[in-house]
Structure 1
Amino acid sequence: MVVSMREGCPKSQVAAVIAAMERRGLKVRIISPGPKVVLGVVEAVSKHLTDDLRFVLSDMPGVEEVSDFHTDWKLVWRGPEQQTSVVRMGGRSIGGPELMVIAGPCAVECRENLLQTAQAVAASGAGAIRGGAFKPRTSPYSFRGLGEEGLKYLAEARELTGLPVVTEVMSFHEVELVARYADVLQIGARNMQNFALLEAAGEVDKPVLLKRGLGNTVKELLLCAEYILARGNQQVMFCERGIRTFETETRNTLDLAAVPILKQNSHLPVVVDPSHAAGKRELVPALALAAVAAGADGLMIEVHPEPAKALSDGRQTIDLPAFDDLMKRLALVAQAVGKTIPGVNP
Structure 2
Amino acid sequence: MIQNAKAVPFRLASREECPQDTRVQVGRVTIGDGHVVVMAGPCAVESEEQLLECARAVRRAGAAVLRGGAFKPRTSPYSFQGLGEEGLALLAAARQKSGLPVITEVLDPRQVEQVSRCADILQIGTRNMQNFSLLHEVALAGKPVLLKRGQSATIEEWLCAAEYIMAAGNRQVLLCERGIRGFDPLLRNTLDLSAVAVVKQLTHLPVVVDPSHAVGRARFVPAMARAALAAGADGLLIEVHPCPEKALCDGQQSLTPEAFAALMGQLRALARAMGRDVVTVC
TM-score, normalised by the number of residues in structure 2: 0.96
Q: What's the secondary structure of 1:331's corresponding residue?
A: helix
Is the counterpart of residue 150 in structure 1 residue 87 in structure 2? yes
- Cα shift at 1:335: 1.7
Aligned partner of 2:220 in structure 1 is 283
> 1-side partners of 2:145 and 2:157: how far apart?
17
Establish whether residue 175 from structure 1 lines up as the match of residue 112 from structure 2: yes
Question: CA offsets, 1:36-55, max 9 Å, x none?
Answer: xxxxxxxxxxxxxxxxxxxx
Contact 1:295–1:337 (8 Å) recurs in 2: no
2:138 counterpart residue number = 201
Query: What's the C-alpha RMSD, in Å, of the aligned pairs?
Result: 1.5
Deviation, 1:338, is: 2.6
**What is the CA–CA distance in structure 1 between the aligned matches of 2:218 and 2:263, rounded to whole Å?**
12
**Does residue 292 of the first structure (1) align with residue 229 of the second (2)?**
yes
CA, structure 1 residues 81+187, in 2 after alignment: closer, same or farther (shift >3 Å)? closer
Mapping for residues 247-258 of structure 1, pairs under 5 Å: 247-258=184-195
| Corresponding position of 1:325 | 262
In 2, the alpha carbon distance for the partners of 1:83 and 1:282 equals: 36
Superposed CA deviations along residues 171-215 of structure 1, whole A, max 9, x for unmatched, are 111111100110000000000000000111111110000000111
Which of 289, 314, 327 is the matching residue for 2:251? 314
Contact 1:260 1:295 in 2 (8 A): yes
Correspondence for 1:42: none
Counting aligned pairs with the same residue, the percent is 56
Between 1:154-163 and 1:229-238, the stretch displaced more is: 154-163
CA–CA distance in 2 between the matches of 1:261 and 1:307?
34
Letter in 1 for 2:187: T
Cα distance in structure 1, aligned partners of 2:177 and 2:19: 22
Q: What CA distance in whole angstroms lies between the structure 2 residues aligned with 1:96 and 1:155?
A: 27
Take 1:299 and 1:293, find their aligned partners in 2: how far apart are those partners? 12
Question: Partner of 2:204 in structure 1?
Answer: 267
Aligned to 1:300, the other structure's residue is in SS state strand
> For each residue in 1:212-258, what CA deviation from the matched residue of structure 2 results, as whole angstroms up to 9, or x when unmatched?
01111110000000000000000000000000011221100000000
Q: CA deviation at 1:68?
A: 6.0
Q: Any gaps of 5 or more consecutive residues in structure 2?
A: none
| Matched letter for residue 253 of structure 2 | Q
Partner letter of residue 42 of structure 2? P
Gap regions ≥5 residues in structure 1: 1-66
Change (3 A) 1:321 1:77: same
Question: Is residue 93 of structure 2 the alignment partner of residue 129 of structure 1?
Answer: no
- Corresponding residue number in structure 1 for 2:77: 140
Partner of 1:41: none
Deviation digits for residues 129-176 of structure 1 (CA, Å, limit 9, x no counterpart): 000000000111111011111111111111111111000000111111
Residues 97 and 338 in structure 1, CA contact (< 8 A), matched pair in contact too: no
Q: Say if 1:68 and 1:289 are closer, same or farther in 2 by CA, change over 3 A.
A: closer
Which residue of 29, 54, 60 corresponds with 1:117?
54
State how far apart, in whole Å, the 2-side matches of 1:218 and 1:316 are.
Answer: 25
* 1:93 and 2:25 matched: no
Residues 187 and 77 of structure 1: CA distance in aligned 2, closer, same or farther (over 3 Å): same
Structure 2: distance between partners of 1:82 and 1:126? 29
Deviations 1:63-92 (A, max 9, x none): xxxx96441101000138822211011221
Contact 1:121 1:324 (8 Å CA) reproduced: yes
Report the Cα distance in structure 2 between the residues aligned to 1:289 and 1:86, rounded to whole angstroms: 22
- Give TM-score scaled by structure 1 length: 0.78
Q: Which residue of 1 aligns with 2:242?
A: 305
In structure 2, what is the equivalent of residue 340 of structure 1? 277
